[in-house]
A and B are shown apart, each in its own frame.
Chain A
Amino acid sequence: MDFMYLYLPVALTSINILVPVGLGLAVGLLSGLFGVGGGFLMTPLLIMFGIPSTVAAATDSNQIVAASTSGTYAHWKVGNVDFKMGLYLLIGGFIGGLFGVQAIKILKATGNADFVIKMTYVIMLGVVGTYMFIESLNSMKKSKNQSQESVVRSQESGMTKFLKSLPFQTHFEKSGVTHSTLLPIIFGGFVGVLAAIMGVGGGFLMVPVMVYILRMPMHVVVGTSLFQILFNCIEVTFLQAYTNHNVDFILAVLLLLGSTVGAQVGAVFGRKLKGEQLKIILAVIVLVVTAEIVLELTLTPSLLIAQGGGH
């Protein structure tokens, strides 16, 4: 069955074409459904199939460019991309990324970068997953029990008041919300710092920020998140190709064959689900990934030696 294998010129290894196409399809589906890049799933899976860790991360960002273009396009067609919000988040994310890279340098100098990175990752995933899970479970219950809604409204008003008091208020038409422009820039920056430290795209953090802090409707969140992931990944792909020579074009093409189609299917399927349903499924996936990472950290690895680079 050698004809099923293709040689990858940068990864310097050979892979069964069904593996990247299948992985692309699955991760693209999640991307179109939830507005995440899926790097937290794809990179470790590629490493498992023998791709060097540095090439896996870099090539994944190239592939995400295709999947998020496909996904953004699908969501834009039905008016679910808030370009204005996406732009402010991007500005924040870009500034945050610069700080994050500096933070990594400082961490590496202190010598326990790996510990801090891993713990940040596990804690962020765990907290975000748990919060989303509980919140979406509650809101699913609430939608059945309308009487509780007034309580939620009064709880919200405190935070809303504070947010309204911030300068540079502007209306985001697509999302139907009014915020200070500082808000998406600051939180975009916050996600940017963490994403740079953890070496991931940060979609799984950006989605909750948009849902819970910016109060955007879930379907617009997915489209807008994909839009800003697209631009982040274009930047990362270029830097990875230019400075590290780690992007494998053939592997990226195999992955995007699956992921671009997956993203379309995900976008179509997502429209049939309610916001709460989407949130709770994403929460479960994030929690499963958290559990998997915790297991990986506690079980004795089969190899005590690994390539440098990657997390």
Chain B
Amino acid sequence: MKKVRSRKSEVRSLTNILVMTLLFLFGLTLSATKASADLTIKANHDHIKVDFFYHGSSVSVAGDADSGTDLIIKIASPDGHEVLKQKGKVGGLLWMNTGTLNFEQTPDLYSIHSTKKIEDILGPEETDKYVIGYPALSRHIRISPALGEEEKEKWFGEFVKYKESSNLYTASSGKIMTTVKDGKQTYYIMTQWPYQAPPGDYLVTVYAVKDKQVIEKAETNVSVEQVGTIKALAGMAKNRAALYGVISIIAALAAGFGVGLIFRKGGGAH
């Protein structure tokens, strides 16, 4: 009997330890959840409508963060691929298309903003893990046909230049405004949403960074959608191509004749 009792008490104390440990871990998790709730993100325009008069938009990204953290905001479309022509000198004299490059795992839109220079606040392993900044993006993107390191760097540079020329890629540091009040940090940045960005879903992520590591991140979405006549025309061009072609031709013929008639009436006989 004694033995049995002592075993029972052993089991009880073990259970107690287990429960205590579980409670402790649960408490830890609770506090961690609480900490991540400190980082928030909100975009003022999360649904951009593309109508006739759409000429890009201004999107502000704002939220709260722990004081003492640096912030990085990334706006990007899902990875896709692009086939582009490369230009080179032929015969040492003439610039021509010399080949085709396939860029895989490339976001169509990539916009990165940080409170300080990325290399000063985040380690290379972390930048690569979250694809933060052009150098990290260059290691993320696959270019085929396969190129040597030097060539890859060159053509990635050209790719960024090409994307920046149509405002689809941007990078800035120091443009995020932050204010600290009662130990809490709020941040805000106004970004120009390029009209060149095609319809689709875009992910806006804020990373809180401390000691060269990402300690938290929060996400929100911005969707760009065509509406009204723009949507109808784009849909028709794709899905009812023959009818679209015929209408385009008839409209052009009618316009040509119409203007011809106006000129005959207005201009008199020559």
Q: Which residues of A contact B203 (CB under 8 A)?
A: none
A167 in the interface, Cβ–Cβ < 8 Å?
no
B96 in the interface, Cβ–Cβ < 8 Å?
yes
Question: Does A115 lie within 8 Å of B85, measured CB to CB?
Answer: no
Contact residues, B164-199 vs A (CB, 8 A): 165-166, 195-196, 198-199
Cβ contacts B16-57/A at 8 Å (1 or 0 each): 000000000000000000000000000000000011111110
Query: Are A297 and B242 also in contact (CB < 8 A) when A247-B248, A305-B101 are?
Result: no
Contact residues, A292-307 vs B (CB, 8 A): 296-307
Q: Which residues of B contact A70 (CB under 8 A)?
A: 255-257, 259-260
B1 in the interface, Cβ–Cβ < 8 Å?
no
Question: Which of B116-124, B126-134, B229-237 is found at the contact surface with chain A?
Answer: B229-237
B246 in the interface, Cβ–Cβ < 8 Å?
yes
A115 to B85, CA, bound (A): 14
Cβ contacts A202-246/B at 8 Å (1 or 0 each): 000000000000000000000000000000001001111111010
Closest to A243 in B: B241
Question: Does B97 lie within 8 Å of A74, measured CB to CB?
Answer: no
Question: Does A260 lie within 8 Å of B52, measured CB to CB?
Answer: no
B90 in the interface, Cβ–Cβ < 8 Å?
yes
Question: Does A245 lie within 8 Å of B237, measured CB to CB?
Answer: yes
Interface size class of B (residues with CB under 8 A): 35 or more
Question: Does A306 lie within 8 Å of B233, measured CB to CB?
Answer: no
Question: Does B166 lie within 8 Å of A50, measured CB to CB?
Answer: yes
Q: Which residues of A contact B251 (CB under 8 A)?
A: 66, 249, 252-253
A205 to B50, CA, bound (A): 42
Q: Which residues of A contact B84 (CB under 8 A)?
A: 305-308
Question: Does B97 lie within 8 Å of A245, measured CB to CB?
Answer: no
Cβ contacts B91-104/A at 8 Å (1 or 0 each): 00111111011000
Cβ contacts A242-280/B at 8 Å (1 or 0 each): 110101111011001100110110001001000000000
Contact residues, B212-257 vs A (CB, 8 A): 226, 229-231, 233-234, 237-238, 241-242, 244-249, 251-253, 255-257
Question: Does B87 lie within 8 Å of A7, measured CB to CB?
Answer: no
Q: Kindly provide the distance from the CB of A248 to the nearest chain B CB, expressed in whole angstroms.
A: 8
Query: Are A237 and B252 also in contact (CB < 8 A) when A74-B260, A308-B84 are?
Result: yes
Question: Does A65 lie within 8 Å of B253, measured CB to CB?
Answer: yes
A176 in the interface, Cβ–Cβ < 8 Å?
no
Q: Which residues of A contact B88 (CB under 8 A)?
A: 304
Contact residues, B142-177 vs A (CB, 8 A): 155, 158-159, 161-162, 165-166
A271 to B269, CA, bound (A): 12
Name, among A257, A264, A307, the residue most crowded by chain B CB atoms within 10 Å (CB to CB).
Answer: A264
Could you show 11 A-B contacts with beta carbons less than 8 Å apart? A2-B55, A7-B230, A70-B255, A115-B94, A234-B253, A241-B244, A256-B255, A303-B162, A304-B88, A305-B84, A305-B85
Chain B residues engaging chain A, CB cutoff 8 angstroms: 50-56, 83-88, 90, 93-98, 100-101, 155, 158-159, 161-162, 165-166, 195-196, 198-199, 226, 229-231, 233-234, 237-238, 241-242, 244-249, 251-253, 255-260, 263-264, 267, 269-270
